[in-house]
């Protein structure tokens, strides 16, 4: 699903380029549940942006579900991102003025689907996540755990190739965090491919496989 070879990425600091990701080789098979574990500043978010087609590498090759991402013009990255990636963020990133159903159906509306069609397509996912009684609520009427379930539903609804989660339990109390990890495990068992980024060993250990990132370098 993911084949990354010799990925390098740096940021300009004055006239100098500071390397952040160094010679990254990273592969993920369909159906795998992988955690990327590393301390703050190690390059996790930079790597997530790369995997999630939000940013391009300076060098190296990246194939996502057969698509050569490193050769894509930036204008096509939006489309690939919408089709292939389901994002889950620490702070949920829900739209506060939209109700839960509008938030969940967002990725389908972006594809040009009508609201009625999108709502129908989303219903099995909504039921799976136990959100069918909350559809008219606004995000600020929900608990943190419920908000994260909404964001997981939004990530799933477009049937992406990969679920990509950045510290998905980072803002939750430990009981809600455990519930989210249980849900990830269930989604993994249902065949979803998951990449989860975390600085927390306990969170990472719920994945099937752990890859370490230290100073922008990966090791299994
Ligand atoms: N847009 C940017 N411009 C300059 N430096 C950046 C930028 N984004 C991240 N960095 C630097 O790259 C390194 C890795 O950052 P990041 O990928 O956010 O790490 P993590 O998510 O593991 O904390 C840090 O030293 C950070 O300061
Ligand atoms: Mg980060």
- What pLDDT sits at residue 217? 96
- Residue 209's beta-bridge partner residues? 34
**Tens digits of per-residue pLDDT, 182-197?**
999 999 999 999 999 9
Mean pLDDT, all residues of the chain: 95
Residue 94: count of CB within 10 angstroms of its CB: 22
- The pTM is what? 0.94
What does the chain come to in residues?
Answer: 220
**Pairing mode, if any, of strands 2-13 and 59-64?**
antiparallel
Atom of ligand 1 at shortest range from CA of 42: 22
Residue pair 57/216 in contact by the 8 Å Cβ criterion: no
Res. 133 pLDDT band, cuts 50 70 90: very high
Atom of ligand 1 nearest to the CA of 166: 21
User: What per-residue confidence (pLDDT) applies to 29?
Assistant: 97
Q: Pick the ligand that lies closest to the CA of residue 55.
A: 1
- For residue 206, give the nearest of 186, 188, 187, 185 by alpha carbon: 185
CATH numbers and ranges of domains, the chain = 2-219 (3.40.50.300)
Question: Which bound ligand lies closest to the C-alpha atom of 216?
Answer: 1
Tell me what pLDDT residue 113 has: 96
pLDDT 10s digits, 135-180: 999 999 999 999 999 999 999 999 999 999 999 999 999 999 999 9
Query: Helices in the chain by DSSP H: which ranges?
Result: 44-51, 74-84, 100-110, 115-128, 144-156, 174-189, 201-204
**169 φ, ψ (degrees, to nearest 5):** -105, 5
Distance CA 7, CA 58 (A): 7
46 CA to centre of ligand 1 in angstroms: 6
Between the CA of 11 and the centroid of ligand 2 the distance, in Å, is: 15
- Tell me how many degrees the CA angle 126-166-76 measures, rounded to the nearest 5: 80
What is the average pLDDT across 5-21?
A: 94
pLDDT of residue 220: 82
Q: Is the pLDDT of residue 200 over 90?
A: yes
**What integer pLDDT is reported at residue 195 of this predicted model?**
98
């Amino acid at each position: 699903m993911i084949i990354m070879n010799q990925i390098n990425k740096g940021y300009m600091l004055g006239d100098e380029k500071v390397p952040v990701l160094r010679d990254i080789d990273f592969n993920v098979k369909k159906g795998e549940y992988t955690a990327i574990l590393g301390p703050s500043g190690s390059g996790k978010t930079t790597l997530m942006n790369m995997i999630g087609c939000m940013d391009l590498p300076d060098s190296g090759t990246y194939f996502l579900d057969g698509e050569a991402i490193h050769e894509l013009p930036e204008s096509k990255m939006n489309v690939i991102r919408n089709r292939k990636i389901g994002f889950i963020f620490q702070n949920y990133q829900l739209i506060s003025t939209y109700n839960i159903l509008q938030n969940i159906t967002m990725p389908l509306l972006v594809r040009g689907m009508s609201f009625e069609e999108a709502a129908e397509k989303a219903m099995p996912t909504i039921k799976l996540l136990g959100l069918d009684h909350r559809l008219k609520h606004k995000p600020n009427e929900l608990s943190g755990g419920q908000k994260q379930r909404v964001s997981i539903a939004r990530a799933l609804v477009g049937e992406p190739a990969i679920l990509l989660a950045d510290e998905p339990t980072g803002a939750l109390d430990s009981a809600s965090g455990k519930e989210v990890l249980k849900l990830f495990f269930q989604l993994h068992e249902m065949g979803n491919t998951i990449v989860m980024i975390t600085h927390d060993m306990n969170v990472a250990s719920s994945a099937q496989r752990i890859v370490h990132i230290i100073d922008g370098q990966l090791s299994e």
